[in-house]
Chain A
Amino acid sequence: MTARRLSYGGRIDRYRTITVEFDGRSFAAHPGDSLASALLAGGQTIFARSFKYHRPRGLMAAGVEEPNALVHLRDGARHEPNAQATMVEVFDGLKATPQNAWPSLRFDIGAVNGMLSRFFGAGFYYKTFIGPFKGTGFWMFCEKFIRSAAGMGQATTLGDPDHYEKINAFCDVLVVGAGPAGIAAALAAGRKGENVILVEQDHSVGGALLSAVPGGVSDVWLKKAESELRDISNVRILTRTTAFGAYDTEVFGLVERSQDHVKAPEVGKPRQRYWLVRSKRAILATGAIERPLVFAGNDVPGVMLASAVRKYLNRYAVLPGDRVLVATNNDSAYVAAIDLAKAGAKVMLCDLRQKGPKSLFARARAAGIDLKLGHGIVKAEGGKNVRGARLIAVDAKGKASGKEISVSCDLIATSGGWAPALHLWSQRFGKPEYHSNLDAFLPPAERGAFTCVGSLVGATSAAESAMQGHTAGGSVGKLDPLPEEDDFWGRGLLPTTVITRANGTTPGKAFVDFQHDVKLADIDQAHMEGYVSVEHLKRYTTLGMAADQGKTSNLNALTRMASLRGVDVPNVGATTFRPPYTPVTIGAIVGNDHGLHFQPTRLSTIHDWHMENGAETIEAGAWLRPWYYPAKGETLRDSYIREAAHVREHVGIVDVSTLGKIAVQGPDAAEFLNRVYTNGFKTLPVGRLRYGVMLREDGFVLDDGATARLGENDYFMSTTTANAAKVLAGAELLLQAAWRDLKVHVTTVTDQWAAIAIAGPKSRAVLADLTGADLSKEALPNNHFTNVVVDAVPCRLHRMSYSGELAYEIYIPAKSGLKVWEALIKAGVPYKLKPYGTEAMGALRIEKGHVAGSEIEGRTTMKDLGLEGFASSKKAFIGSVLRRRPLLEDPDRPSLVGLEIVGDVGAKAGSLLFAMNVPKKGHGEGWVSSATYSPALKKNIALALLSRGPQRFGETIEVVDFVGNQTLQARVVLHHFFDPEGHRQNG
């Protein structure tokens, strides 16, 4: 292969020369070049090593279908693996390196795999690692070697420095593909006034027209059409953009590589943009991909697709070889051969067909091409470069016969017909239809809101493609004519793409899937082993998988499978196309939704104070809450023990704004609450609040919380932080579906109210000082509330306790939350008031034996949790029937107990419980749900669910943490460790 840049032609900017680097070598390039064309012009023949056998691979294609030339791009944090050199636009300083080769691209030690290829055939993994070796040990041993020897590029583990974004767009017509068909469609629809988005993966519009000899009639057509398109304000042209997914209701995923063609994105610009487009209709003008021929050595560098050779020649002014052998089974390769000959190459064209179009033959001969009809290539000669080929005569059915002929060449250009790029259509609608005259699967021209035009549906020329597009766009305005051509691939195509010797063998490896090193022999072997389904074939051989998605291999594999099975191609079927059409970077999918914005964060209106005062925070669902406020040098344990002890001794405040708060309003509010809570609410007087438990329909505990009656028909329900949304959604469902007769509305007021719990023996004094209200036991007993004013902010003060202390919760209009918190801090100074975090709050509630999310975890009943007394026997409520299931009444069920841990080491939540002196196997007799060090008791304690728990008070059991390999002993006690009589909270 002796590629060189021509001194004329091309669609590159010859006035500017830039430098790109590959494999440590510098190459001159021009704006408009692809990395592939620049390297090819500089004489680079090997671009990569193959996936499995590490064979040297050169360019096969010039576009998105390129399976071989995958390279690493850039370095450092911008390092990118598996970039197709054919799709990379050059820029000055572009740096690319080879992948999957060691120590170098030209000498790769992994190439030894090729000699062992008979052991690495189809199903190699399955066969090698199943059988004589028991277990997975052998596989685990081999895996790292296999993974390092095989595969593609390596991703960086450095953080991506670039910025990506997502955008939603809407249009009347989405046109995918800006070749003649797409351009004509967009023009017609745009003229009609429709809102059009035209998508093109290339940086320039034109599609196949860009592969024509520059300066021709099609260039005039293209220039005029593009100019008009860009002047239509309702047409948006997105170049460097791939439509990679088509989804229901005409939703499309696009990825725009908006800044990939520069060294680093401009400030403020996203490197890539993910478009989510909703379109009323879609016009697919995605073209077709040329099929390679399958023969021995068809992967030797220098064997390329004929259309690619023509594109390099006419678009990039690169003549890929001087002595060219063109092999084809159809007419389309003739134009490439003629262009090559006109560019000065010595061209031989072997056509598998005995007969063909006389006009093309005449044009070819006139260009000096040596035509060899009825011949195909049986083998390409060469190792790192094509040196020649062996031809063989084939009959009218494509079967080889006769003696082989050797020819010398440095480039082989093949065409095995074309495969329409129907991926988007198929993602949306499924299986396409096989057209035997074209030996290809095609979508219908119309289905639903989709119209397919151009080569995608087998248009015979650019002129016909443009006409189809014009019609699909609405036939508005005049369509300028494009010249008719006589090189339509479907005319007289011979559906033979595999060339073997007369005995059916190939004299060497003949590849079907170049990206995954799947050989013809692998398909034959899979067939011999009984594989008949094309989906199984795909998975057994890896054909058509991963980045490539079988763009150049699927059809050749299907036809081979059909041939082996002796059936027609439609009877073999096609594999399922799924998005994405081409790889999409994770960055584009993620957009801005990462780091802090992976999901939205919910913050109380007091949050800034916590941060300014050194709180460590913890995620609680979407909330970020103060976890603890460490003093200098304190650990979490030090802090929470200090904070909890301080509450017991003095007074503390904790931000509980995260509690779910629901306004329950309406004449039937009491009846509604009576149904959702297990205990009665109809008798709750105004001004009082009541703790309630609610169940799921299946009888398990759903949530708990206190509800205050603010007015006759006005209740304020609180839920746990974790279950707020679930409780609200459940209530809405009941009211809208089951209890439509109830006049009740539920509305979340979590955002309306900030809330602070004030706990400790001095809490009353602090609040009395602050509010001036009479908060005596008589004036405000437990489970009552009153309205107070704090620093001119009207608030509601609930007397209730989660900690077991004398405690209150103050509900504040949310935007005044910080003001009231600061007022409390100030008023609390004489009483040594301190803030405490969720860890101390947890320690306090465990001491008191209050259940929380660790106990209400979906598997526990009221009876399990010692809450049976809250279940009314006088009314029905959600879960009242199914909670009586025998299984849930089983006396052996684990039920809530306290554990006093023996020794100085605390238990871990999740540890399993066993009786003493029994084998520590299985799930034991229960588990630890919550554990803490109790500053009040000065010992490690835990809440646990233990089989027949209340009957085992006083028993010593073993607490086993299998994960942490820890076994402790504990004494079973009542779960109310602290002030079981409630003197403090009721005092």
Chain B
Amino acid sequence: MAKKHNLPLRGVNSDGASVQVNEVEVGYLVQLAGWGNFADAADKALRSQSLSIPTDYRAPVSRGMMTVWRIAPDRVLVRSDSKLEFASTNDLVALDLSQARVCLTLDGPGTAGLLSRVIALDFDELLFPIGTFVQTSLHHVGVLVERQRRDQLTVIIPTTWARSLTDYLISHLALAV
């Protein structure tokens, strides 16, 4: 069974660069999905929260503690620190996924190096700038990765995979004793 770790933990990757792994609250997570003129319908719904629909799949729209990620042509994911009410309509359905995800933060100069050992992506800051995100696979599991700072990224993981993937990430670090 995957090992349970008491987070936060700090370790170094094999390049000797340190990383702190921590779990933070997801807060509230709602998926909006729709059809046809989804973009308009979602934009309208999001504007009620002073948000808007992102125009691409790498750059989220953020306001305060709220973030909107466009995760598919007809789906967005909205993360917030307080519960947002979105009513389902004929053009749009809302689904609470707050319990379905766990959020890890990876912080430190070894963060990009650690992630490059487990994810087939280029974490160069030019190609993955601060404030952008990707949806990708981490050890075969779909995750959402967002760059907060040069050396800080968050990884949003499906809840039931979180223990295993956290352990997998940490297995790439030599832990500080």
Contact = CB atoms under 8 A, between A and B. Distances in A.
A binds B: yes
Interface of A: 165-170, 195, 267-270, 273, 276, 278, 592-593, 596-597, 599-605, 607-608, 611, 617, 623-624, 657, 663, 665-667, 711, 713-714, 743, 745, 747, 749-753, 813-816
A816 B36 CA distance: 36
B14 A601 contact: no
A169 B117 CA distance: 9
A170 B115 CA distance: 13
Contacts of A276: 120
Given A596-B167, A663-B95, A751 B33 contact: no
Interface of B: 1-4, 12, 14, 31, 33-36, 74-75, 88, 90, 93, 95-101, 116-117, 119-122, 124, 127, 139-141, 158-161, 163-165, 167-168, 171-172, 174
Given A608-B4, A611-B1, A750-B160, 9 more contacts: A168-B120, A276-B120, A596-B167, A600-B165, A604-B160, A624-B1, A665-B88, A745-B75, A747-B97
Contacts of B35: 666, 743
A554 to B, nearest CB: 34
B160 A751 contact: yes
Nearest to A663: B95
Contacts of B120: 168, 276, 278
Contact of A751 (B34, B100, B168, B174): B100
Contacts of A166: 117
Contact of A815 (B1, B31, B90, B159): B159
Nearest to B140: A600
Nearest to B16: A268
A743 B117 CA distance: 40
A779 to B, nearest CB: 27
A568 B128 CA distance: 54
Given A592-B172, A596-B167, A752-B96, A603 B88 contact: no
Given A603-B164, A611-B1, A665-B88, A597 B139 contact: yes
B116 A605 contact: no
Contact of A170 (B12, B93, B122): B122
B163 A603 contact: yes
Contact of A168 (B116, B165, B171): B116
Nearest to A735: B35
Smallest CB-CB A-B distances: 8 pairs: A268-B174, A751-B100, A665-B93, A752-B100, A170-B122, A814-B99, A745-B33, A751-B159
A614 to B, nearest CB: 14
Contact of A600 (B93, B117, B139): B139
B31 A747 contact: yes
Nearest to A591: B117
A195 B101 CA distance: 36
B25 to A, nearest CB: 10
A603 B166 CA distance: 12
Contact of B95 (A269, A601, A657, A747): A747
B41 to A, nearest CB: 11
Contacts of B75: 745
A165 B14 contact: yes
Contacts of A195: 124
A714 B2 CA distance: 35
Nearest to A595: B171
A749 B159 CA distance: 10
A617 B159 contact: no
A165 B14 CA distance: 9
A588 to B, nearest CB: 13
B99 A167 contact: no
20 contacts: A167-B116, A170-B124, A268-B12, A268-B14, A592-B171, A596-B164, A597-B164, A597-B171, A602-B161, A604-B160, A605-B160, A607-B163, A624-B1, A747-B97, A749-B95, A749-B100, A751-B100, A751-B158, A752-B159, A814-B160
B99 A751 contact: yes
Contacts of B167: 596-597
Contacts of A711: 88
Contacts of A607: 1, 163
B100 A745 contact: no
Contacts of A657: 160
Contacts of A617: 1
A168 B100 contact: no
B170 to A, nearest CB: 10
A753 B14 CA distance: 38
Given A268-B14, A276-B120, A617-B1, A602 B160 contact: yes
B97 A749 contact: yes
